[in-house]
Amino acid sequence: MPDPIKPVIVGVPGPSGSRPDDDLLAGLNEPQREAVTYRGPALLIVAGAGSGKTSVLTRRIASLLRSREAWPSQILAITFTNKAAGEMRERVRGLIGDTAQGMWISTFHSACVRILRREADQFGFTKNFTIYDSGDSRALIKRLVKEHEADAFGFTPASVQGRISKLKNELADAESFARTANLSDPAERVFAEVFADYQRALQRANAFDFDDLIGQTVYLFRAFPHVADVYRRRFRHILVDEYQDTNHAQYALIHELTRPPGSDGQAHDSGMMIFDAPSGGAGGEEAASLTVVGDSDQSIYAFRGADIRNITEFERDYPGAKVVLLEQNYRSTQTILDAANAVIGNNFDRKDKKLWTDVGPGSAIIGFTGYSQHDEAQFVADEVEALHRAGTAYSEMAVFYRTNSQSRALEEIFIRSAVPYKIMGGTKFYERAEIKDAMAYLIAVANPADELSVRRILNRPRRGIGDVTETSIARYAAEEGITFRDALANASALGVGPKIQQAIAHLDAVLAEATEVMLPASGEVAPPTSVTEGLNVLLNKSGYLDALRRSKDPQDEARVENLDELVAVTREFARNNPEGTLLDFLTEVALVSDADDLDDSSGSVSLMTMHTAKGLEFDAVFVTGVEEDLIPHRISANEPGGPQEERRLFYVALTRARKKLHVSLAMTRAQFGEVSAALPSRFLQEIPHELIDWRQSPGDVNSRGGTQSRALNGRPGSGAGRGGFGGGSRYGDDLVPLPRREKPAGDITKFANRIPAKVRDNGDLELAPGDRIRHDDFGEGRVDMITGEGAKRVAHVRFDSAGPKKLLIKIAPIAKL
């Protein structure tokens, strides 16, 4: 690596005219410019929602590179998601071209994996370690809870996992926990044992869980100062986005990296901050400069250990830090900002900060109250269609909800209404059983020490290997002092029946063959295409695919398709990573969440939780399920700081919208199969009522029309024809009415389950333009045209009372007249 050119510019450049940065500063307001150009040891950018922080961050990086203050390799930028990292990389490249190569722009987790893979052998791991996602670690914990009979003390796998995760986020480990815990309490003692065993199992499996990726990197830096110094010397400019959502471990990691190199031994073990202003002491080597960006109003991850104090006390942690405030919003209309400001203003312990814009008021927020969640979903679908007809692209619209389970009703209606959508996050591809199985096969090859993975594939497909045999293998391995995986090579010594011996020997042979493909013993490096090849060997020769194909369970057909998809992913990986290894592939899969997949151009409406929505923006936003017990969520109500965090979450949701914001709720909601009455969220009342134009207000639903089935008469106020204003009833001078509980029980059931769980199938119903049809909900109408092919044929229908709709012919509740 070439020596860096020494920084030329220190401190804020003079105001003189033409500097190389001029184009980078074009179009920025004064605080934004300052955030780009300030030079010093520490900079905090307090960036309100939509204030252009990504732009500022990318230009700051570009400016550092362009002025030769830093080489790309000296820059470490941390983002919250891989997607954000990719976008930032692109934008920097757009500003200064390919010279941007070599920067580290990644999430905390990805950066730590890179470091750990490099340094693993320093402390008892090897570089082919496995990354356990929460499902993997829960499976392991589950076994340990059982072994220790910890359930007798009320521990569940989930509760143990949560507690361990919390401890790790505070950088506690099993030993330090045992030192401080009250071990005379038997429950505490059992927990301490499970924790210790869990950690030992991870170490034996050569594996890290998500929290370890951060925590062990911190440990590595603290235990091996010479290793830490390598990275301290390397990264001269560290930038952290979404700083309000960092937890203690991440905070500690940043602190380790921003110490002056070679300074260890002085303030080491104390855990104290030793950030000396760059005057530098004797050593002369300066600490890296640190830039953090955040907004305490958008802190929504306290539940996973994010500590808002990391940002509120930044100035204390880094004395002399410069603070820049970005309050001008470039995203939303003033109406949206007024609503958001009003809501967040109800959080008392915050620094007052008001977003403003100069784009004008824009249109009113549209409110809607459905009878049921399906009714609400239908409103969203109708509105999406109306906006689409008016020229808004589907990809510019998003629907948010608090809990993942709320997506189902929306999905059902969207499918029926033929609205193209995609769910971000949600049930993840990589969490499907068959995909996890396939990944376990790959991991068994890459990291044979990973017993969990080997155990997982032991009887998949069914080989007649049950609990008894599994235990025999484990016992044999323990006796011989070899790994579980190696024990498979000695089937005849296990003391099991000949049939089972044969099955084990076969599995062993398949694993060995795939190993030779992907990690040749000859020592030459396998080409990236070998991952595809190896996966095919594993899936075919193990009999996994055959078993699925032979099965008569209709779902298994879909599983085969999913596995085909995974094979396609490996091919894609090989194309994108000409140097990629099996290990690289596994890393990518472990760390890239589904929310990251980048097919935004697909022209679909995005459905996601409010959490996933952070950092995104759309022309039109639908915030659904704005009900008590949902937002704020019931569980958060009793947690300290819970309701406030929920309010911030709602605030984040509102501020994603550029032009059109919709808030909706339902009067009844089915949960756990039970239908119950829902109340409007308290947050709704915090929005000044004149900002909301109610198409159908909570009052409408309660007082009149409540007994009349809208399934029969369609929806009066919806559809394309209505301009939006003046149609629905507004609240006059009243506050948004408080919910009334006394609702006739009768109409609760009436509207709750209009959507049958079973998908209906019209077979190959033939429709042509001009046909008259009858729809269960919308009544009669005339077919305008037919688009699409086969099962995806869509009828565009103009209903007499409900207006224009698109219907998926195969499943819509329609009949030809």
Contact set with DNA (CB under 7 A): 80-82, 107-109, 133-134, 142, 158, 210, 300-301, 303-304, 402-405, 425, 459, 462-469, 591, 593, 595, 608-609, 611-612, 633, 635-636, 639, 642, 649, 670, 672-674, 753, 757
Work out how close the CB of 370 gets to DNA at its nearest, in angstroms, rounded to a whole number: 17
**Closer to DNA at the Cβ: 470 or 533?**
470
Give least dist CB 244 to DNA, A: 15
> What sign has the CA pseudo-torsion 715, 718, 723, 728?
positive
Residue 133 or 627 having the CB closest to DNA? 133
Let me know: does 807 contact 416? Beta carbons within 8 Å. Answer: yes
DSSP 3-state of 248: helix
Closer residue to DNA, CB minimum distance, 300 or 355: 300
Least Cβ distance, residue 587 to DNA (angstroms): 12
Q: Which is nearer to DNA, 296 or 697 (CB)?
A: 296
Please tell me the distance from the alpha carbon of residue 253 to that of residue 52, in angstroms, as a whole number.
27
Q: What is the 3-state secondary structure (H, E, C) of 52-69?
A: CHHHHHHHHHHHHHHCCC
- 784 a catalytic residue: no
- Minimum distance from CB of 817 to DNA (Å)? 29
CA-CA distances (angstroms) from residue 52 to 338, 360, 598, 615? 18, 18, 21, 11
Q: Which of 34, 173, 241, 375 is catalytic?
A: 241
Q: Which residues does residue 696 pair with via DSSP β-bridges, in sequence order? A: 368
Nearer to DNA, 384 or 591 (CB): 591
Among residues 21, 34, 209, 242, which one is catalytic? 242
**Is 536 or 593 the residue whose CB approaches DNA more closely?**
593
Q: What is the DSSP letter of 816?
A: E
**Which two three-digit tokens encode residue 788?**
């699409």
List, as one string, the DSSP characters of 541-601. Answer: HTSHHHHHHH---THHHHHHHHHHHHHHHHHHHHHH-TT--HHHHHHHHHH--GGG---GG
**365-370, strands of its sheet edge to edge:** 421-423, 605-609, 397-401, 618-623, 657-666, 365-370, 692-696
Residue written as token pair 């990690």: 519
298 is catalytic: yes
Closest residue by Cα to residue 695 from 399, 392, 364 = 364
Which whole-number Å values give the CA distances from 298 to 325, 387, 519, 651, in the listed order?
15, 28, 45, 7
CB atoms inside a 10 Å sphere around CB 640: 9
Q: Which two tokens stand for residue 494?
A: 């296990």
Known binding positions: 47-54
Secondary structure class of 665 (helix, strand, coil): strand
Known catalytic membership, residue 378:
no
Nearer to DNA among residue 324 and residue 610 (C-beta): 610
Question: Which residues are CB-neighbours of 673 under 8 A, at least 6 positions away?
Answer: none
HSE value, Cβ hemisphere, 13 Å, CA-based, for 205: 24
Rounded to the nearest whole angstrom, what is the least distance from the CB of residue 623 to DNA in the complex? 14
C-alpha–C-alpha distance, residues 136 and 140, integer Å: 6
The least CB distance from residue 494 to DNA, in Å, is 12
Phi, psi of 252 (to 5 degrees): -65, -40
Measured CA angle at 557 (ends 428, 594), to 5 deg:
15
Q: Output the smallest distance, CB 174 to DNA, in A.
A: 19
Query: Which residues does the annotation place in the binding site for ATP?
Result: 47-54
Which 3 state secondary structure label does DSSP give 433?
Answer: helix
Residue 54 designated active-site: yes
> Which residues does 773 contact at the CB level (< 8 Å), separation at least 6?
767, 780, 781, 782, 783, 795, 797, 814, 815, 816, 817
Q: Which of 661, 670, 656, 659 is nearest to 627 (CA)?
A: 670
Among the listed residues 33, 53, 322, 695, the single catalytic one is 53
Stated as kind and residue range, the H or E segment containing 401 is strand 397-401
Active site annotation includes 550: no
* Residue 338 among the catalytic residues: no
CB of 546 to DNA, least distance (A): 14
DSSP letter for each residue of 625-661: --BTBBTTBGGGGGSTTHHHHHHHHHHHHHTTEEEEE
Instruction: Please tell me the distance from the alpha carbon of residue 234 to that of residue 4, in angstroms, as a whole number.
Output: 10
Contact 628/679 with Cβ under 8 angstroms? yes
How long a stretch of residues is the chain? 817
B/e letters for 491-507, b = 16+ CB within 10 Å, e = fewer, are beebebeeebbebbebb
Nearer to DNA, 363 or 472 (CB): 472
Distance of closest approach, residue 97 Cβ to DNA, in angstroms: 28
Catalytic residue among 89, 656, 695, 810: 656
Task: Compare residues 317 and 645 and give the one whose CB is closer to DNA.
Answer: 645
d(CA 229, CA 203): 25
> Smallest gap, in angstroms, from Cβ of residue 40 to DNA?
29
| Chain centroid, CA 789 distance in Å | 34
Nearest-approach distance from CB 749 to DNA, in angstroms: 11
- Could you list the active site residues? 53-54, 241-242, 298, 656
